[in-house]
């Protein structure tokens, strides 16, 4: 039995999964890593811990099914995208904690770049906005503030890259990324498909410290695993987590949309060869490059969704077990006017306000913890609806269905509320590990494990569907109050 290994390196942990030819996850292992908060709004991870957890989870998944190394046809990687690692390419030793996509430490620098008139050139070339979310300003911060990084730059041994390139380096010894991850850096021209000299000059980042950019599924592969496995296995496919989920959801056609409910929510629409420039606060990104073709996507990134549930557990301490979420949504019919805007690290799409902060509004003496918990769950759907409407406007495409994945989709009443508030059919696939599955598909295509997209589509199955049932006037009322609550979160610091 030959298998594909997928390494899914996320914001809170690392998961390794073995998939068979039917796209079924037959063995998986997961390890969380530490979240490091050096200052308010700053978020870091330990790169060595991430790499060690990758090894632990690979071995853990292998033990479950007694997988022999010779049975692994190829390795796919998917990753938290904009998070940046710097290391010594001669020794492989990391030089600083990874700066995570959630980190807001470069907000003021982004404001300076905007004030200097650089917003449009970045948007035009990269499809992104000047926001601390993206990798480029994080790289500049490391070059300015880490003595170890400065030293290795002067010695000519500095390597910088997103988490995929960090894992590929440790697996193969090669410094490589793919088009989807490169497109999230503020340094890559998504139209010409190259690291852009003008953008690198603006941010004063040397090109030679960046990885080689390769297709997301590459028949040449990124290299074979070295001594760590005592057996050469090709690392053959990679994509950023949200693009991998789009691929895993089989959204191969124009206008197909998926929404991943994870630490944050990420909605992507396949726009094929058209790099649509958003007029409504969305991003234009590369979904993948396969067989010489670049496929683009519109994306809306919501920073805090599942992380809001984690805050209820660990921050407020009012949620004991996630299994309680479904019961609360089923038994509590509304929030009684309570709205929660979880802008802990600002607001992402379509608002892009790094200075917004979390706000709970509408509290009364009758408010209970259950109202706050339901308001947190509803905020996930409201934020997704804001992105959904922006996507409809930008694309001009009527979107009849939304495919969903991620841990929060275990709460079926939440998916019903999403269908109601967005007036769309919500589809949940049978295989929920769509992010890891997308990376597996990309690697499997490269090594001939799957022949083509039609071969992959034969495996895809929908498990549950949710159709809208809310009256239009009720939908309009709820959305109008959400908008008012969000405006309070955006404006409080200036009023």
Per-residue pLDDT of 124-133, as tens digits, reads 999 999 989 8
Q: Are strands 425-429 and 401-405 parallel, antiparallel or unpaired?
A: parallel
21 and 170 inside one domain: yes
218 and 256 inside one domain: no
| pLDDT recorded at residue 228 | 74
| pLDDT recorded at residue 301 | 87
pLDDT band at residue 363 using 50, 70 and 90 as cut-offs: very high
Rounded mean pLDDT, 173-200: 97
pLDDT band at residue 329 using 50, 70 and 90 as cut-offs: very high
Structural domain includes residue 86: yes
Rounded mean pLDDT, 356-376: 96
Tokens of 301: 């990134």
pLDDT, tens digit, 9 for 90 and up, residues 254-310: 999 999 998 889 999 999 999 999 999 999 999 999 989 999 999 998 989 999 999
281 and 228 inside one domain: no
Whole-number Cα distances in Å, 335 to 164, 373, 481: 41, 9, 12
Structural domain includes residue 487: yes
Structural domain includes residue 448: no
pLDDT of 31 strictly over 80: yes
CA distance 162 to 98: 9
pLDDT of 392 strictly over 80: yes
Across the strands, what pairs with 4? 19, 74
pLDDT of 205 strictly over 80: yes
Structural domain includes residue 175: yes
pLDDT, tens digit, 9 for 90 and up, residues 37-72: 999 889 999 999 999 999 999 999 999 999 888 999
166 and 302 inside one domain: no
348 and 416 inside one domain: yes
71 and 192 inside one domain: yes
Structural domain includes residue 451: no
Which domain range does residue 398 map to?
Answer: 249-429+461-495
Which residue is listed with tokens 């693009």? 243
348 and 379 inside one domain: yes
Which residue is listed with tokens 């035009």? 124
40: left (phi over 0), alpha (psi -120 to 50) or beta: beta
| pLDDT recorded at residue 445 | 96
pLDDT band at residue 249 using 50, 70 and 90 as cut-offs: very high
Counting the structural domains of the chain, the total is 2
Could you tell me how many residues make up the chain? 495
| pLDDT recorded at residue 40 | 87
Q: Is the Cβ–Cβ distance between 440 and 19 less than 8 Å?
A: yes
pLDDT band at residue 492 using 50, 70 and 90 as cut-offs: low
The radius of gyration of the chain's CA atoms, rounded to the nearest angstrom, is: 22
pLDDT band at residue 321 using 50, 70 and 90 as cut-offs: confident
208 and 328 inside one domain: no
pLDDT band at residue 184 using 50, 70 and 90 as cut-offs: very high
| pLDDT recorded at residue 494 | 58
346 and 225 inside one domain: no
Domain-ending residue, one of 223, 241, 259: 241
pLDDT of 495 strictly over 70: no
CATH number of the domain residue 424 falls in: 3.30.420.40
Residues of the chain above pLDDT 90, percent? 88
| pLDDT recorded at residue 172 | 95
Q: Is the Cβ–Cβ distance between 402 and 286 less than 8 Å?
A: no
pLDDT, tens digit, 9 for 90 and up, residues 102-158: 899 999 999 999 999 999 999 999 999 998 989 999 999 999 999 999 999 999 999
Q: Where does 204-347 show beta strands of DSSP type E? A: 212-214, 235-240, 257-261, 265-272, 283-290, 293-302, 339-341
Which residues have CB under 8 Å from 88's CB, separation 6+?
95, 152, 157, 158, 159
Which residue is listed with tokens 């990084």? 149
CA distance 16 to 422: 33
Indicate the range of 24-28, 228-232, 414-418, 482-486 predicted with least confidence: 228-232
Structural domain includes residue 436: no
Which residue is listed with tokens 């390597």? 159
Peptide bond into 306 cis (omega under 30): no
Structural domain includes residue 467: yes
Rounded mean pLDDT, 218-225: 93
Whole-number Cα distances in Å, 190 to 11, 122, 213, 225: 25, 11, 12, 30
CA distance 263 to 255: 25
pLDDT of 432 strictly over 60: yes
pLDDT, tens digit, 9 for 90 and up, residues 397-408: 988 899 999 889
Domain-ending residue, one of 199, 218, 241: 241
- Give pTM, 2 decimals: 0.90
Structural domain includes residue 23: yes
| pLDDT recorded at residue 368 | 96
| pLDDT recorded at residue 79 | 96
């Amino acid at each position: 039995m030959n298998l594909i290994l997928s390494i899914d390196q996320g914001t809170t942990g690392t998961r390794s999964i073995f998939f068979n030819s039917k796209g079924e996850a037959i063995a998986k292992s997961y390890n969380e890593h530490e979240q490091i908060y050096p200052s308010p709004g700053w978020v870091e991870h330990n790169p060595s811990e991430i790499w060690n957890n990758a090894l632990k989870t690979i071995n853990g998944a292998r033990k479950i099914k007694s997988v022999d190394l010779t049975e692994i046809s190829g390795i796919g990687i998917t990753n938290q995208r904009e998070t940046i690692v710097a290391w010594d390419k001669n020794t492989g030793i990391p030089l600083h904690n990874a700066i995570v996509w959630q980190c807001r430490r470069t907000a003021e620098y982004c404001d300076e770049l905007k004030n200097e008139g650089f917003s449009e050139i970045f948007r035009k070339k990269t499809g992104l906005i000047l926001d601390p979310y993206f990798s480029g300003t994080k790289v500049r911060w490391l070059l300015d503030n880490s003595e170890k990084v400065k030293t290795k730059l002067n010695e000519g041994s500095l390597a910088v890259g997103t988490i995929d390139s960090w894992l590929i380096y440790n697996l193969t010894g090669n410094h490589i990324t793919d088009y989807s991850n490169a497109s999230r850096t503020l340094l890559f021209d998504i139209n010409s498909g190259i690291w852009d000299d003008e953008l690198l000059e603006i941010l004063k980042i040397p090109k030679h410290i960046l990885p080689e950019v390769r297709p997301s599924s590459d028949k040449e592969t990124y290299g074979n695993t070295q001594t760590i496995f005592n057996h050469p296995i090709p690392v053959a496919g990679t994509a950023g987590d949200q693009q991998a989920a789009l691929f895993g959801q089989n959204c191969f056609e124009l206008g197909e949309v998926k929404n991943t409910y994870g630490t944050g929510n990420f909605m992507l629409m396949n726009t094929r060869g058209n790099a649509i420039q958003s007029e409504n606060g969305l991003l234009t990104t590369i979904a993948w490059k396969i067989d010489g073709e670049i496929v683009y996507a519109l994306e809306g990134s919501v920073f805090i969704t599942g992380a809001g549930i984690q805050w209820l557990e660990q921050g407020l301490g009012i949620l004991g077990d996630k299994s309680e979420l479904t019961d609360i949504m089923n038994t509590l019919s509304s929030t009684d006017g309570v709205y929660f805007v979880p802008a802990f690290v600002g607001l992402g799409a379509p608002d892009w306000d790094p200075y917004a902060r979390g706000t709970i509004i509408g509290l009364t003496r009758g408010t209970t913890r259950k109202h706050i918990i339901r308001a947190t769950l509803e905020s996930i759907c409201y934020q997704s609806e804001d992105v959904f409407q922006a996507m409809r406007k930008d694309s001009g495409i009527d979107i009849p269905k939304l495919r969903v994945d991620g841990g929060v989709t275990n709460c079926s009443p939440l998916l019903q509320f999403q269908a109601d508030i967005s007036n769309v059919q919500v589809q949940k696939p049978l295989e929920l590990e769509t992010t890891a599955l997308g990376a597996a598909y990309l690697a499997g295509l490269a090594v001939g494990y799957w022949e083509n997209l039609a071969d992959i589509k034969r495996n895809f199955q929908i498990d549950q569907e949710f159709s809208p049932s809310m009256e239009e006037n009720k939908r309009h009322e709820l959305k109008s109050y959400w908008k008012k609550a969000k405006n309070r979160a955006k404006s409080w610091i200036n009023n």
